[in-house]
Structures are given as C-alpha cells and as structure tokens.
A and B are shown apart, each in its own frame.
Chain A
Amino acid sequence: MSLTPVAPAGASSPAGPAVVPRDRRLAKRRADWRRRRLVLILMSPWIVGFTVFFGYPLVMSAYLSFNHYDLLSPPRWVGLANYRYLFTIDPQVWTAIKNTIWIMVIMVPAQVLFAFGLALMVARARRGIGFFRTVFYLPALAPPVAATLGFVYLLNPSTGPVNTILGHLGIQGPLWFNSTAWAKPSLVLLALWGIGNTMVIFLAAVIDVPRHLLESAELDGANALQRLRWVTLPIISPVILFSVVLGVILALQYFTQAYVAAAIAGGQASQAGENINALGYPEDSTLFYPVLLYQHGFNDFQMGYASAMAMVLLAVAFALTLVIVINSRKWVHQAVPR
C-alpha cells in the first residue's frame, strides 16, 4: 500500500513529490472503475435477464411456496402446509415421481447409448458422412409439439401406419400412447427419433479421438471392442458426462411431449373445455412431475402449492447433478493426451 502522506482536509495540496503517487492512485482507481463499468455494461443484458427471468422468479417461487396463492387474491402465509400436502396427502404426486424416475432411468441411458451408437456408425462411414449426419440430425429440427403430433398420428392404434403395417404382417400392434404399458416407451421412441443434437456432439467427440492412440492400441493387439473400451470411451467421457447431466435435468423437466401426447391421444379436447383431465392420459401413466406441477398451478390455480413443488424439483435437480458430477471424478478423464 502507498504511504503517501495525506494533506489535512481543506488544505490545498502543495506541489511536490508526494502528490504524484496520489494522482497515480486516483488514476488507477478511475481506470479500475472504468474497467469494472465496462464489464458491468457488457454484462448488463445478462444481469438484467438473470435477475428478471431467473433470480426474481426463484425468490418469488420460494416465497410463494409458503403461501396459499390462487393468482387472484393476495398470497396468504400458510407456513409448511404446502410441503406437508405435497409429501403426505397429494394422491397424484407419488405417481408423478415414479413416472419421472422411470423416464430418467430409461430414457436418459437410452438416449446416450443410441446417440453414441449412431455417432460411431456415422463416424465409420467411408462415404456420405455428411449425408448421414444430416439425415440423423434433421428430426432434431422439428418443433417438439409438431413431432409429438406426428408420432401420435403414426402410432394411432387403429388408423396409424405403424399398426397398419404390423397388421399386414399378422401382428396386432400395441395401443402405444393409449396404453399404460406403452405410453412411456412411446415417448422414449419419440426422444430417440429426435436425438440429433446429442448425436452430433458425440460424433464430434468420436472423430476427435486421436488416431495415433487407436493405432497404438491396435498394434498392441487390442480388438475393436477393447479399443472402444480403453481408448474411445475414456477420451469422450467428458461428453458422456455432459449428456448425462443434461439428460437428467431435461428428464426432470419433461413436459411438452407428455402434455401434447396425452391431450391428443386422450381425445379429450372438449369444446366446452370441460374434460381437461387428459393430463397424464392414460391413467396417469404420462403424469410426470412437471405436468402435475402445471396442472396444480395453471388448471387448479394453486400457485402456492405449485411453487412448493417447483422448489422441491429444484432441490432434487441440484442434488442429482451434484451426485453425478462428484461421482464422475471416478470415470471422467479430464486430460486428453495429444
């Protein structure tokens, strides 16, 4: 720190050697402030966006979770009542949790394996890699609502082309989205069809595996499976981690496809809006946690309770991500040899 003597207040600074460091210090402060200001200005769109669209809703959601709030009258403090109802009474919440766990445990690994498998196949193609990459990526461009509508049509048990073809082969196709046993697997099929984004990421990682390492392993006598296990997988493990974390978070927030599929397959889009009970059709088999949250918040106008559900979801997402990331230290190779 500078030991520059400070002139008494009110006294004019005498010209001399002591003034120069002070001016420098002031100039440095000004420069620091200018830099900080510039950083703040450059970051301001993000700060505003974060505060308005994330920070404020998060704080409000936490506050509302301790209130009875019907959207039309002021929030009324109810303490832990919403959480108590959530964990001990709500008859649908455990079904929703089970469904969400199912989709997380089945869909996420299926997506990762399928995307990885596709990437390996496309990477091995000697010709037309661009063509295959485009073909497999294209479905990812379809809006989720349109894609779901298309799948519900394709898999219509009576009139859909899939069951019609199966019928010609002498097989009675399943009820797909209209069956409690098949509704979730149908959603998994839909997710696998739209796997393009993950596939492209895996493809980039697979192509990026250093050739000399694969060749060395081959010279050491490693077969294709061993090269995959001991060379490719360790090198792309950060990408696997990324896909798993993202997949888990998206599975916890799984909503659009389930909502659309249930509404269309349920056929309950009543004109009078009376049968809005299609959420989760059939028999709550597609009632995922976010769908139930939506139902309570926007159909039943119990926004306080929906906020409590949202807070629990946030905590679970955070905890799961933490567990995966901590656990990943055992299997993710951060340093890639060149």
Chain B
Amino acid sequence: MRRTGAAFVLLAFLAAAAAMAATAGGAHRASPIKLSVWAYWSPGTHELTSFDKLVAEYQKNHPEVKISVVGGVDDNKIVAAIRSGTAPDIVSSGNSYNVANYCRTGGWIDLAPYMKRDHISASLFPKAPQYYTQFNGTRCALPLLADDYGLYYNKALFKKAGITHPPKTISELTADAKKLTVRGSNGSFKVVGLDPVIGWYENVPERWIQQFGGKFVDSQGHAILSKDPAWTTWAKWQKALVDWYGYNNLVRWQTGAGDEFSASQAFENGKVAMNLDGEWRVAFIQHEHPNLQYATAPMPVADNHPELYGSGYINGTIIGIPRGGKHQDEAWNLVKYLTTNSHFLAQFSNLIRNVPTTTASLTSPEIKPDAHFSTFLKIFGNSHSSTSPIMASGNAFTNLVQNFFTKWQAGGVKDLPSGLKSLDKQLDAQVAQAGGGGGVP
C-alpha cells in the first residue's frame, strides 16, 4: 500500500514536471527571438519601407523571430556598435568599399561555415558580387541586390536634336553631348548634353573606366594606372569634354541643377540630356516624374573596345552578421533568405528597382517587366561587367584615385604621365600602410 502511494506521488510529480516543461515550452514559443537588422536606407524612403514590408513577410512565416529594422545606419555606426558590443544581429552597408576591414578583422563573421552547412555556394551569384563580398578569401558578406550603371537619355531632347539612337562609342557620346547642349543668351547652359565632371552625381572614375577597359591593379595588387593606357585615354577624353564646356561654367551650372536624390534632379527635369546613373533611377523617375520621355542603354565604350558594349560597373548593398550578435543562427537564416531566396529578391527588386543578385533571380518570372529596367538586368549579366578592387585601404583607395582626377579635370595636374606614376606609388603605399592585401576583381 505504502509502495503504491509512493508510486502515485512519483507519477504525480513527473506529470507536474512534464506539464511545467510544456508550459515553459509554450512560453518560449510565445516570446520569439528578437532580431535587429540595421540597414543603410534612410528612414521614410521607399527603399526602407519596401524592405520592411518584405521582411514582415518572412516574419509571418517564421513566428520564432521578431524582426525590427533600423534605417539610416552608416559604416561608422556599424563599427562603433561592434566595438562597444552593442551590434545588432544583422548589418548591411550601402556598398562594398569597407568589406576588407569587415572580413579580415572578423568584425563581420565568416559566413563560410554556415554556407557549407546549408550547402549555399557563392556561385549562386555572378562574378562581381561574388568578388565584392569577400576579402582575400574570407567571405563575411553576401550581396543584397546590386547597383549597376548605364546611360539615361532624354528621348524628347534626342528627337529635337535629330539623334535617332543612343551612343555606343565614346566618339558618338562626345558628338551627341555637344549636339544636345543648348546655351542661353548669356552663355549659361539651358541644357547640358552630358556632364562629365568627376564628383557630380554618380560620376566617379571607377564607373567610367569600366567602359574603357581600364584596370586599377595587377595580379600582385600593385596599382597600374600609369601603365594601363586606358586611364590616360579616359582622362584625356574626359578633360577635353570638360574644357569644351568650360570647367567653371559646368560647376556654376551644377549648383543650380538640383539635388541628386530629390525631385529636382537634373535629368528628371530635362536639364541634362544624357546621364550616367544607377538602375535605381528608374524607380525614382516612376515616383517623381512618371511622364518623362526617356530611355536607358548601356554606357558607351571606348572606340577601341567595342567588345565591352553592354557591360557596366557593378556594386551594391552587402549584408552580414556582426561579431557579438546574440542570435547568429537565426540571423544567418534571415541573411540566407534575404540573399538567396528568388521570391524575396524578385519582389524587392520590383519595389525598389535594384538588380536582384542571384543568377537565378535575374530571370525570375516574378520580376515585373520594364523596358527601362531590363537594360540593367542585361548589364548585370554581361560577362565584361566588373567592379572596383577590394583593397586593404578600403574606401580610401578609390577616394585617392578620385582626388587625382578631380584635380586633373580642373587643370591642377600639368603632367598626366608623371602624375599617374606618382598616384600609383601613393596607392601602393596607402595599401601597405593599411596592412596590405586585396587585388584584382
């Protein structure tokens, strides 16, 4: 009898323990893991709103996590948060220029073990995004949509000037730019055919040199701007066109041309007839000037490099998991979804008109057809399209190049060959100073 009673008590205890465990499990499910995602898109923009909307879709299918998205975060804030141990679970950066610093320091964790575990291959992505999301073989980021660059041209102004098709070579581009330029009675510009000034809007050397087939570094990672004739060809062409307008005239015109990321943007308002710009402009025009008569085409290429026509410069948003994140497994699941899920990539691409980054998603039937945007999908898939080198010195590398050509176009460099030689030395020294490493895309 006593034994029966003891057994009964034991059973009751076990039942109670089981019930408590079940309750605890229920409580666990009721309070999902909080995942914080930092994005660079500014609060209130359609990019962040769209991202929020699509992330909510993921959350709906994954009740085990609750995701909060914070916008307007730049690389400085990311680094500060990692250092102070307050990093979120997932971070993204608007471009890949600092990926070297993130990957080699472990500031963003190496994603290789997760990718291996889940059988995710980097070959899902085209060559350029594969390259700009790693440094010296350490893959600490994945691409989250990409930006590529092409030519926007105003069809009404083309028609008025009697131009029937977009330029394909630099010679054609130059002739069209001059033909499209309209000056007022006081010499000011009513319409600028093409503004080639470095630093204006999206004009930076890396986007232009792509169309001339120029390389930044050799296979050892040494700067070769003085040795690769493409740089000299481009620089001389660019300066000649700037001089045709008059550098100060162009600068004066730019100060009234409108802000790049506002409805007053020059191309959207017919102030500039042709413009180098990113694929995102399609969505901006759709939102801000839906009646603008324009078309898109690949950027013209150097006359001696016809094979490059159709290609363009590529870069884009990168996403990763910072060191010190509390829920790295859950964070990886979300990163994996955001970077490899064709449905998400197609939907996000439709909303913000950025290029989806996996090869499969490029041809996803979910991508809404759009003649303006399809140009950029083709540029992204072009085998000659490329990106700038990821060097140890990060952003400083391309900034130094830009500084040089900014001075050159204003007449501040008298001797181009020796200037380029000196630039090469400075770039090599800068990379060495930053710890060395990096190389050919």
Cβ-closest chain B residue relative to A91: B426
Cα–Cα, bound, A267→B203 (Å): 12
Cα–Cα, bound, A298→B76 (Å): 7
17 A-B interface contacts by CB (under 8 A): A71-B79, A72-B82, A73-B105, A85-B433, A89-B430, A157-B251, A266-B199, A267-B255, A270-B260, A272-B278, A276-B395, A277-B402, A281-B199, A283-B406, A284-B403, A299-B396, A301-B79
Q: Which of B90-98, B160-168, B355-363, B365-373 contacts A (4 or more CB under 8 A)?
A: B90-98
Q: How many whole Å from A66's CB to the nearest CB in chain B?
A: 14
**Residue pair B106, A273 in contact (C-beta under 8 Å):** no
**Residue pair A271, B261 in contact (C-beta under 8 Å):** yes
Cα–Cα, bound, A81→B430 (Å): 12
| Chain B residues with a Cβ under 8 A of chain A | 40-42, 45, 74-76, 79, 82-83, 93-95, 97-98, 101-102, 104-107, 147, 199-202, 204, 248, 251-256, 259-261, 278, 315, 317, 323, 393-396, 399-400, 402-403, 406-407, 410, 412, 422, 426, 429-430, 433-435
What 11 new A-B contacts, CB under 8 Å, besides A73-B105, A283-B412? Answer: A70-B101, A70-B105, A158-B256, A178-B254, A266-B199, A277-B199, A282-B251, A298-B76, A299-B76, A299-B396, A300-B434
Cα–Cα, bound, A234→B145 (Å): 69
Cβ-closest chain A residue relative to B425: A89
Enumerate chain A residues within 8 angstroms of B82, measured Cβ to Cβ.
72
**Residue pair A89, B435 in contact (C-beta under 8 Å):** no
Enumerate chain B residues within 8 angstroms of A71, measured Cβ to Cβ.
79, 83
Partner among B45, B83, B255 whose Cβ is within 8 Å of the Cβ of A178 = B255
Partner among B41, B79, B251, B395 whose Cβ is within 8 Å of the Cβ of A72 = B79
**Residue pair A158, B42 in contact (C-beta under 8 Å):** no
The number of A-B residue pairs with CB atoms under 8 Å apart is 135
Q: How many whole Å from A164's CB to the nearest CB in chain B?
A: 11
**Residue pair B94, A89 in contact (C-beta under 8 Å):** no
**Residue pair A70, B435 in contact (C-beta under 8 Å):** yes
Enumerate chain A residues within 8 angstroms of B317, measured Cβ to Cβ.
272
Q: Does A68 lie at the interface of the complex (its beta carbon under 8 Å from any beta carbon of B)?
A: yes
**Residue pair A274, B95 in contact (C-beta under 8 Å):** yes
Enumerate chain B residues within 8 angstroms of A157, measured Cβ to Cβ.
251-252, 255-256
Cβ-closest chain A residue relative to B409: A283
Cα–Cα, bound, A164→B152 (Å): 32
Cβ-closest chain A residue relative to B278: A272
Q: Does A92 lie at the interface of the complex (its beta carbon under 8 Å from any beta carbon of B)?
A: yes
- The total of chain A residues at the interface (CB under 8 A) is 45
Cβ-closest chain A residue relative to B397: A300
**Residue pair B76, A267 in contact (C-beta under 8 Å):** no
Cα–Cα, bound, A301→B75 (Å): 10
Cα–Cα, bound, A132→B72 (Å): 43
**Residue pair B260, A267 in contact (C-beta under 8 Å):** yes
CB neighbors of B among A284-338 (8 A): 284, 295-296, 298-302, 305
Q: Does A4 lie at the interface of the complex (its beta carbon under 8 Å from any beta carbon of B)?
A: no
Q: How many whole Å from B401's CB to the nearest CB in chain A?
A: 10
**Residue pair A89, B394 in contact (C-beta under 8 Å):** no
Enumerate chain B residues within 8 angstroms of A267, measured Cβ to Cβ.
200-201, 254-255, 259-260
Q: How many whole Å from B103's CB to the nearest CB in chain A?
A: 10
Cα–Cα, bound, A300→B396 (Å): 6
**Residue pair A158, B410 in contact (C-beta under 8 Å):** no
**Residue pair A301, B200 in contact (C-beta under 8 Å):** no
**What 0/1 readout, one digit per residue, does chain A (43-76) give for beta carbons within 8 Å of chain B?**
0000000000000000000000000101111000
For A70, A89, A282, which residue has the most chain B Cβ atoms within 10 angstroms? A70
Cα–Cα, bound, A179→B75 (Å): 30
CB neighbors of B among A139-183 (8 A): 156-159, 175, 178-180
Q: Does A253 lie at the interface of the complex (its beta carbon under 8 Å from any beta carbon of B)?
A: no
Q: How many whole Å from B239's CB to the nearest CB in chain A?
A: 14
Enumerate chain A residues within 8 angstroms of B412, measured Cβ to Cβ.
283
Q: Does A134 lie at the interface of the complex (its beta carbon under 8 Å from any beta carbon of B)?
A: no
Enumerate chain B residues within 8 angstroms of A156, measured Cβ to Cβ.
255-256
Cα–Cα, bound, A178→B256 (Å): 12
Enumerate chain B residues within 8 angstroms of A283, measured Cβ to Cβ.
406-407, 410, 412
Q: Does A275 lie at the interface of the complex (its beta carbon under 8 Å from any beta carbon of B)?
A: yes
Q: How many whole Å from A12's CB to the nearest CB in chain B?
A: 59
Enumerate chain A residues within 8 angstroms of B406, measured Cβ to Cβ.
282-283
Cα–Cα, bound, A270→B277 (Å): 12
Cα–Cα, bound, A273→B92 (Å): 12
Cβ-closest chain B residue relative to A264: B259
Cα–Cα, bound, A89→B202 (Å): 29
**Residue pair B255, A72 in contact (C-beta under 8 Å):** no
Cα–Cα, bound, A68→B79 (Å): 16
Cα–Cα, bound, A302→B278 (Å): 30
Q: How many whole Å from B38's CB to the nearest CB in chain A?
A: 13
Cβ-closest chain B residue relative to A92: B403
Q: Does A268 lie at the interface of the complex (its beta carbon under 8 Å from any beta carbon of B)?
A: yes
The 5 closest A-B pairs by CB, nearest first: A158-B256, A72-B105, A72-B107, A73-B105, A300-B396
Cβ-closest chain B residue relative to A278: B199
Enumerate chain A residues within 8 angstroms of B400, measured Cβ to Cβ.
91
Cα–Cα, bound, A300→B399 (Å): 10
Enumerate chain B residues within 8 angstroms of A159, measured Cβ to Cβ.
255-256
Q: How many whole Å from B189's CB to the nearest CB in chain A?
A: 10
Q: How many whole Å from B12's CB to the nearest CB in chain A?
A: 56
CB neighbors of B among A233-283 (8 A): 265-278, 281-283
Q: How many whole Å from B372's CB to the nearest CB in chain A?
A: 19
